[in-house]
Structure 1
Amino acid sequence: MKLLGREPAAWLTLIAVMVKLLAAFGLDVNADQQATINAVAAAVMGVLVAALVHDGLGAALIGFAQAALALALGFGLDWSTDRQAVVMAAVTVVVGMWDRTQVIAPIPATAASRPTKPTVV
């Protein structure tokens, strides 16, 4: 699948420039909000790249959730740090539970439960 080709950084640059262009021509966002939008775009790109290469998708999803929360806060979401922490903890647990179904152990469970013989030196 060639969704991103070989240049995800170029796509991120395009997004950053488009946000600046829109802000220059009337989109009402300040510099902090622009930075947060670009951070979310980077997190989305991380999720896409992780999905395409089948590596680290769980970590990318958690990073995306953190970026999305930062974006919401940057645009006025009024949550206490306690509420933010609870939401992020829930996201982490849900992603962890999903991730658990995706991982294959390198050795069978029966091999891990067998006692090993002590090594004689």
Structure 2
Amino acid sequence: MPKLFGREPALWLGLVAIVVKTLTAFGLNVTSDQQATINAAAAALVGLAVAVIAHDGVSAALLGAVQAVIALAVGYGLHWSADQQAVVMSLVAAAVAMWTRTQVTAPVPAVLPPATPSTASRE
């Protein structure tokens, strides 16, 4: 992992939560629902970063991060219906699936059908 996260991504998430609470205490106009959404988005983005760095579960982490960012945007006034959110998530899922397809190889080689004898070999 990069030096920024070290071995403690959860510690960084705690710091984000505390910074948001501190800013709210000193005048930032953020509701408790918005604070929760900020923390959820931060968790999803850190999860994505850890997945990319560890090369494990990147597709799921990316989808979770996009979903969290959309939730954050809606929480701050983006006026998307549930249908619009679903369409965007479907587009992202399709793009991730297409990218994943280029990254995955089969664990076993393709089975070739048995060769049929040619008429020349019969004679």
In the alignment, the residues of structure 1 paired with residue 19 and residue 113 of structure 2 have an alpha-carbon distance, to the nearest angstrom, of 59
TM superposition shift of 1:30: 0.4
Structure 2 gap ranges (5+):
115-123
Q: For each residue in 1:55-76, what CA deviation from the matched residue of structure 2 results, as whole angstroms up to 9, or x when unmatched? A: 1111101000100010011011
1:119 corresponds to: none
1:118 corresponds to: none
TM superposition shift of 1:114: 4.8
1:87 corresponds to: 88
User: What letter matches 2:62 in structure 1?
Assistant: L
2:78 corresponds to: 77
- The change in CA–CA distance for 1:16 and 1:54 in structure 2 (over 3 A counts) is same
Q: What number of residue pairs does the alignment pair up?
A: 113
Alignment RMSD (CA, Å): 1.3
In the alignment, the residues of structure 2 paired with residue 26 and residue 107 of structure 1 have an alpha-carbon distance, to the nearest angstrom, of 60
Report the identity percentage. Answer: 60
> Normalization by structure 1: what TM-score?
0.87
In the alignment, the residues of structure 1 paired with residue 54 and residue 113 of structure 2 have an alpha-carbon distance, to the nearest angstrom, of 35
Q: After TM superposition, which residue ranges in structure 1, 4 or more long, deviate above 6 angstroms?
A: none
SS at the partner of 1:76?
A: coil
In the alignment, the residues of structure 2 paired with residue 102 and residue 26 of structure 1 have an alpha-carbon distance, to the nearest angstrom, of 47
1:55 corresponds to: 56
In the alignment, the residues of structure 1 paired with residue 97 and residue 21 of structure 2 have an alpha-carbon distance, to the nearest angstrom, of 36
> Normalization by structure 2: what TM-score?
0.86
TM superposition shift of 1:81: 1.2
SS at the partner of 1:89?
A: helix
Larger Rg: 2
In the alignment, the residues of structure 2 paired with residue 26 and residue 99 of structure 1 have an alpha-carbon distance, to the nearest angstrom, of 44
Structure 1 gap ranges (5+):
116-121
